[in-house]
Homo-oligomer: A and B are copies of this chain.
Amino acid sequence: MISNDIVDKIKDVMRGANVLESKEERLCYSYDATRQEFLPDLVVRPASTYEISEILKIATANSIPVYIRGAATGLTGGCVPIKGGIVISLTRMNRIIEIDEKNLIAVVEPGVITYDLHREVEKKGLFYPPDPASFQICTIGGNIAENAGGLRGLKYGVTRDYCLGLEAVLATGEIINTGSRTLKCVTGFDLTSLLIGSEGTLAVITRVFLKLLPLPEKKITVSAYFRNIDDAANTVSEIISSKIIPVTLEFMDNDTIRCIEQYLKNIYPEGTDTILLIELDGKAEVIEREIEQVRKTCEKCGAFFCAVARDDKERAILWKARSSISPALYQIAPKKINEDICVPRSVIPEILRRIKKIGEKYKLPIPCFGHAGDGNLHVNIMLDPAVYNIKEAEKAVNEIFENTLELHGTITGEHGIGNTKIKYLEMEVGHDSIRIMKEIKKTFDPAGILNQGKMFE
Contact = CB atoms under 8 A, between A and B. Distances in A.
Nearest to A416: B186
A414 B180 CA distance: 13
Interface string A345-361: 11000000000000000
Contacts of A434: 188
Interface in A186-207: 186-191, 193-194, 196-198, 202
Contacts of A309: none
B158 A425 contact: no
Contacts of A375: 103, 182-184
Given A187-B411, A193-B190, A197-B190, A343 B182 contact: yes
Contacts of A416: 186
A2 interface: no
B188 A432 contact: no
A342 interface: yes
A332 to B, nearest CB: 27
Contacts of A243: 125, 214-215
B197 A414 contact: no
B194 A344 contact: no
B170 A432 contact: yes
Contacts of A73: none
A344 B188 contact: no
Nearest to A199: B186
Interface stretch (A108-116, A269-277, A438-446): A438-446
Contacts of A374: 182-184
Contacts of A285: 285-286
B342 A182 contact: yes
A432 B125 contact: no
Contact of A185 (B146, B177, B186, B413): B413
B443 A439 contact: yes
B376 A184 contact: yes
Given A101-B241, A102-B345, A286-B283, A436 B183 contact: no
A437 B191 contact: yes
A374 to B, nearest CB: 4
Interface string A210-228: 0001110000000000000
A104 B196 CA distance: 25
Nearest to A346: B102
Contacts of A241: 101-102
Contacts of A194: 189-190, 193-194
Interface of A: 100-105, 125, 146-147, 149, 153-154, 157-158, 160-161, 170, 174-178, 180-191, 193-194, 196-198, 202, 213-215, 237, 240-241, 243-245, 282-283, 285-286, 342-346, 374-376, 408-417, 425, 428-430, 432-434, 436-437, 439-440, 443-444, 455
Given A182-B343, A190-B196, 7 more contacts: A102-B344, A149-B184, A153-B184, A190-B198, A194-B194, A283-B283, A286-B286
